[in-house]
Amino acid sequence: MERFNVKTSQRMEMIDITHHVLKAVSDSKVTDGICSIFVPHTTSAVTINENADPSVPEDIVMQLSKVVPHNDNYRHAEGNSDAHIKASLIGSSETIIVESGRLVLGTWQSVFFCEFDGPRTRKFYVKVIKG
């Protein structure tokens, strides 16, 4: 298992972490199996989506803000209830098949760390399991 840090610079953003995941797969020497990415934070998440056009992650962040606004009379005293809800909607983990030592991702797919309560220094874990 490998642990990586990511420094976010905005309250909400999606950061491509595919290169970290690829490094973990390469370091593991696993040729066939699965790769699990896990985010141990309640106000951030991980997802797979398009990275060919930078407007896609920007659009996702924009729409999540419309669906779950930052200020909406939440009861949680910390003022970040929206971040908790967004993280629950997106999810804290992803699993990707590893075949011939490579991640099985579509042509336009990348792995994104999703920050909903930044800026912060965050961590995520990658575990590659021989299958």
How many Å apart are CA 25 and CA 15, to the nearest integer? 19
* Cβ proximity of 57 and 112 under 8 Å: yes
pLDDT in tens, 50-93: 999 999 999 999 999 999 999 999 999 899 999 999 999 999 99
pTM for the predicted model, two decimal places:
0.96
Domains in the chain (CATH in brackets) are: 2-130 (2.60.120.460)
pLDDT in tens, 7-49: 999 999 999 999 999 999 999 999 999 999 999 999 999 999 9
How many Å apart are CA 120 and CA 15, to the nearest integer? 13
